Structures are given as C-alpha cells and as structure tokens.
Amino acid sequence: MKSHVLGGVKVADEVWIATALLHREHPDAVDFSIDQIVGRVRKEGLHEPLRPGLTIGLGSLGLVLAVMVWAYTEFAKSAGPLAGLVSAILCPPALLSIPLIDVEVGTPDYRIMWAVFAFMNAALYAVIGSVIGKLRWKPDE
C-alpha cells in the first residue's frame, strides 16, 4: 500500500518512517539492512523522485572556487606557476584565458572574463554532480 505524502519530508524522516513500518511487520527483528529500508521508502512512496542537492552543492562549489582563484590572482602581488596549475585544476575554464593573455589583471575586462569563467566552472561542477548523482543513485522504478 502506497502512502501519499505531500512534499517536505526529510531523508531522516523517510528512514524513520520506513524503519518503523518494517518493525511493525517484523517485530522480532533487531535491525534492517540499508537495502530493506530504501526498498520500504520506495514502496511507501515517501521520497521525491529527484533530489538536486548534489548538483546544486557542486555547482555552488565550482562558483566559489572560481571566485577564490580570481581573488587570488587579483590581489596577490605575484603568482607563480604553481598558482596557474592550481587554478587550471580547480577551475578548468580558466584555461580559456590563454588566448586572452592581453587582458590586464585588475581591469573591468579581467573581472568580466573571470565572471564568465566562474559561471562556466559552476556549470561544469553542476554537470559533474548530476552525473555522479545519476550513477550513484539509481532511478526509481
């Protein structure tokens, strides 16, 4: 029997409800496996079909990392090759600045360029989060 739950149920609540229902069916059981609990949550329809938390979280992380790289390059007296390597790893869209070598640090053009890189990095990280979410958590039947 499926329950109809309006939105706003947190994961902890889902687990608690599913575990309570499992204990009602199996009063002698000491505990239940994660698969049993997840299966019961699905059976009762307690969950929402999509939780975009990972996608949003990683997208936000990508934005923050790009802003941090920009701030370092903007305010550091001198940035060595290690700073360039770190920025390329944490913010791959920064590699697009190679053909834009004539853009001076500290100018409005530099800030606009990094704003674009920050949003590109956020999108990249969000896509990575979405892919991880799809691979890690299988869709419901």
Q: For residue range 1-49, what is the model confidence (pLDDT) as tens digits?
A: 444 444 566 777 888 888 888 889 988 888 888 888 888 887 887 766 6
Q: What CA–CA distances, in Å, run from 82 to 1, 11, 78?
A: 59, 42, 11
**Six-digit token string for 57:** 């979280």
Sign, Cα dihedral of 69, 75, 76, 78: positive
Taking residues 113-140, what's their average pLDDT?
A: 85
Identify the pLDDT of residue 44: 81
44, 21 Cβ separation under 8 angstroms: yes
Identify the pLDDT of residue 60: 92
Identify the pLDDT of residue 115: 94
What is the model's pTM?
0.61
All residues at 6 or more sequence positions from 104 whose CB lies less than 8 Å from its CB, including other chains: 110
All residues at 6 or more sequence positions from 132 whose CB lies less than 8 Å from its CB, including other chains: 54, 58
Give percent of the chain above pLDDT 90. 23
More confident site: 11 or 132: 132
